Chain A
Amino acid sequence: MKEAITLENIPEISPMFRLQWEEVQDAFVILYPEGMVKLSQSAGETLNRVDGKKSIGDIIKDLEAQFEGADLKDDVLQLFEVSRENGWIKTS
């Protein structure tokens, strides 16, 4: 069992996956061998901020600044837990 993800963790997209904007889907998607996951708008906005440098705390601040006044901490942490479970991201 891995330790729970915290605000200090720095996520990066796993080299086994590719995140990109898909115009026709009007969404961010995660691509992998013969497969594609279409992300919701909020998940896409969040994972698109993953650059291997920003911590999850930084990403939340950034999101809360853009989507004024929203309290996103729990949802974002949960998204990163799911993303790590699926192997989309690695955390350090």
Chain B
Amino acid sequence: MAGLKQVNQAGHELTPPLWLLCELTYKCPLQCPYCSNPTDIAAYKDELSTDDWIRVMREARAMGAAQIGFSGGEPLVRQDLEVLIAEARKLGFYSNLITSGVGMDEDRIKAFKEAGLDHIQISFQASNEELNNFLGGTKTFAHKLEMARLVKKYEYPMVLNIVIHRQNIDQIEDILDMVVSLKADYV
């Protein structure tokens, strides 16, 4: 890149990329109606292999990306997630795991830590069991609470993500109370 200044159509100088978001899979155990992932999942079944992702990660890092996000779908579905996390750490990325928490357990949280994962984000659909499980189409609320506690037990910075819409906007106060009680660092 030395000596080359790239500009966009408006003439503004292009700066190096900062962030590589890896949508590792479109498979997901949740069925949230507002999901922005493709609905024609069958057409996207040819996911990148482990080696392809590692090549993409190396290229992005060389371009200057400092942050990497592992997302989906549900990234925990990928059995090679620990391998990808370890490679991200080796390359010097700050790694973010963006998950529903479904498919996670204490052993995996510990293994991610050992692989060098920097931080975990867990999604909640609402602040109470009934609405959370209704919106996600699955019984996951109790498990998500448990995972959030474990994320802090293993001393990760924790982000909680909640999509706000007319079904849960009246719960904002309860949602923030929940976030505080789970000791989230960001929401």
Contact = CB atoms under 8 A, between A and B. Distances in A.
A20 B91 CA distance: 12
Interface in A1-42: 15-16, 18, 20, 22-25, 29, 31-36
Contacts of A31: 66-67, 94, 118
Interface residues of B, number: 20
A16 B157 contact: yes
B134 interface: no
B64 A25 contact: yes
Interface in B142-172: 155, 157, 159
A32 B157 contact: yes
Given A32-B94, A33-B185, A36-B18, 12 more contacts: A20-B92, A22-B64, A24-B16, A29-B66, A31-B94, A32-B119, A32-B157, A33-B118, A33-B157, A34-B96, A34-B159, A35-B67
Interface of B: 1, 16, 18-19, 63-64, 66-67, 69, 92, 94, 96, 118-119, 121, 155, 157, 159, 185-186
